[in-house]
Amino acid sequence: MAAQEYKLKGLTSLSISPGSKQEVEVEGIEDGKVLLVNAGGHIQALGSRCTHYGAPLVKGVLTGSGRLTCPWHGACFNTRTGDIESAPALDALPAFKLAERDGAVYVTGDEATIKNSRRRPNFSCNVGATAKHEGHIVIVGGGSGAMGAVEGLREKGFDAPITIISNEGYLPIDRPKLSKALIADAAKLAWRGKSWFDAGSVSWVDGEVDNVDFSTRTVRTKSGSSHSYTKLILATGGTPRLLPLQGFKVLGNIFTLRSVHDTKKINAAIGESKGKKIVVVGSSFIGMEVAGATSKDNTVTVVGMEKVPLDRILGEKVGAAIQKTFEGKGVKFHMNAGVDKAEPSGSDPSNVGAVYLKDGTRIEADLVILGVGVAPATEYLRDNPVLRLEEDGSLKTDENFLVQGLKDVYAIGDIATYPYNGPGGDGKHTRIEHWNVAQNAGRSAAQHIVNPGSPAPFFVPVFWSALGAQLRYCGNSGPSVGGWDDLVLQGDLEQSKFIVYYTRGDTVVAAASIGMDPAVMQTAELMRVGRMPNKAMLQAGHDVLSVNLSD
């Protein structure tokens, strides 16, 4: 559809002040809207909704340097071009030409693009004799990190062949929806279709890598295929941990959750009639999300080792409030509890029938879902003679995600231990199992491949979770970078409308909120530019949303 000029409803001039955003209806297009932003004195019309999950960007965070951040999940766009600057969005925003004349304001674009509020990034690539770049990039793994890398490479003009090797059996999916909604259809979760990869000259190989020869730069799969590389990106993610306890390795209807195959098995065990007794072992994010997703029409019991759910990450006060919300929906809890064994079902001894706790408590179970963490999926590297894995099985990298001690090899996502330079990090190495971190790491690796002399991009970790209400989180309060020693609460936990700042000394190292958008995304941006208020200011009631980022 050809672009044409449309009038913006109710505007007589482009009089939008610096640092401001305004959502405007487009006359002649049903439900058509654009977002006007003034970043550093430059006024631009953009798509009005985030290309990730459709959040209204008028409620997002705008900086004077031209960054527009989604209020929900941290996706960031360049306000001049609409290009992606931070995960988890895969599509850019459309940027529209503006005109002001005769007491009206007009935008030029085509109807479909204005309505859809998205623009596919420049991914097409015709590998051939005219290519500017030499070599062949192999990416092992087909998750968030791989997608960030491959899109980052093509967006930046890299035009040599790329091969992705994945053992999941389907194209990259929006994995967070597995635990949040138990969606079991890979097609409904797919980020891109096969034609998208074909257009970008990206080869897709279904297979499991079992060996990497770094001396000959060759990757081999279990089926015997061999793939040479000039640059290698390892993005194999995590493997769910199991319980090495009686019954857990031999009984049926005991599941982990990492793939579409897992959700299919879980949904089949629950069945259409539901009414099942479900025991969830683990009270961190995956366990709590699964408990929430299965609690309707089932009896769900959560078993956790902490005093309250998410105690280590969010603290006792927040964890207790979240537990209370879940209990209001019928979920039962056994906290400060250890699992002893799984018992066979009386009606079908091949399946689980109950879980025993160490204090002797017996919990009946038609199925058990384990959410006890993941380990870096690096078994294929464990016996490699030229590589030393970290104690947890991860790969240590530099700030560009180059593996230490290896040439032209990158590690991203759950398998990467990288230097964290956010608040309180001071370059300490950390491993973060976040969806956004993996995708941003992939983009960082792509930038280093295309422009090896450029500075490593800095991003603040952002993640979200469905915990009865939507929780947002930014920063890093993990023990590998020093943890947190105090918190500052603003808002009301009982009303599920609050933000909590996690501090070490006077420094805010992380923040979490429910019902306070876009406070966490504002916090993330303040952390990124080094303007985050300190603990004392927050204790005095300082509101981060009052900090002007348009300077």
Q: Is 484 exposed, middle or buried (0-12, 13-18, 19+ CB in 10 A)?
A: buried
Contact in structure between 495 and 544 (CB atoms under 8 Å): no
- pLDDT band at residue 550 using 50, 70 and 90 as cut-offs: confident
The confidence score (pLDDT) of residue 539 equals 98
Question: Looking at residues 383-412, what average pLDDT do you find?
Answer: 97
pTM (2 d.p.):
0.95
pLDDT at 111 over 60: yes
What's the CA gap between 193 and 185, in Å, rounded?
14
Which ranges constitute the DSSP H helices of 38-192? 111-116, 144-155, 176-181, 186-189
pLDDT at 514 over 70: yes
What's the CA gap between 328 and 311, in Å, rounded?
19
* Helix, strand, coil percentages in the chain from 3-state DSSP, rounded to 5: 20, 30, 45
Closest CA to 26 of 82, 110, 125: 110
φ and ψ at residue 462, rounded to 5 degrees = -135, 135
Question: Looking at residues 425-431, what average pLDDT do you find?
Answer: 97
- pLDDT band at residue 123 using 50, 70 and 90 as cut-offs: confident
Domain 462-546 has CATH 3.30.390.30: yes
Digit-coded pLDDT (tens) for 28-69? 999 999 999 999 999 999 999 999 999 999 999 999 999 999
- Which CATH fold topology does 137-239+376-450 show? FAD/NAD(P)-binding domain (3.50.50)
Digit-coded pLDDT (tens) for 214-253? 999 999 999 999 999 999 999 999 999 999 999 999 999 9
Closest CA to 249 of 134, 362, 341: 341
Question: Looking at residues 153-173, what average pLDDT do you find?
Answer: 94
The confidence score (pLDDT) of residue 376 equals 98
The confidence score (pLDDT) of residue 401 equals 99
Residues 6+ apart with CB under 8 A from 500: 314, 315, 317, 318, 487, 488, 489, 490, 511, 512, 513
What's the CA gap between 96 and 92, in Å, rounded?
13
Q: What is the DSSP letter of 126?
A: -
Domain spans, the chain? 4-116, 137-239+376-450, 254-372, 462-546
The confidence score (pLDDT) of residue 131 equals 65
Closest CA to 300 of 315, 312, 289, 313: 289
CATH code linked to domain 4-116: 2.102.10.10
pLDDT at 208 over 60: yes
φ and ψ at residue 351, rounded to 5 degrees = -110, 160
Which ranges constitute the DSSP H helices of 271-344? 285-294, 311-314, 316-327
The confidence score (pLDDT) of residue 130 equals 59
Asked whether the bond before 518 is cis by omega within 30 degrees of 0, the reply is yes
The confidence score (pLDDT) of residue 129 equals 53
Contact in structure between 460 and 253 (CB atoms under 8 Å): no
- pLDDT band at residue 548 using 50, 70 and 90 as cut-offs: very high
- pLDDT band at residue 274 using 50, 70 and 90 as cut-offs: confident
Question: Looking at residues 117-142, what average pLDDT do you find?
Answer: 82
pLDDT at 206 over 80: yes
**Count of H helices and E strands in the chain?**
12, 36
Q: Beta strand 67-69 with 497-504: parallel, antiparallel or unpaired?
A: unpaired
pLDDT at 128 over 80: no
Fold matches, 137-239+376-450 and 254-372: yes
Compute the mean pLDDT over every residue in the chain, rounded to the nearest whole number. Answer: 96
Percent of the chain exceeding pLDDT 70 equals 99
Question: Looking at residues 20-29, what average pLDDT do you find?
Answer: 97
Domain 254-372 has CATH 3.50.50.60: yes
pLDDT at 187 over 80: yes
Question: Looking at residues 108-132, what average pLDDT do you find?
Answer: 83
φ and ψ at residue 157, rounded to 5 degrees = 90, 10
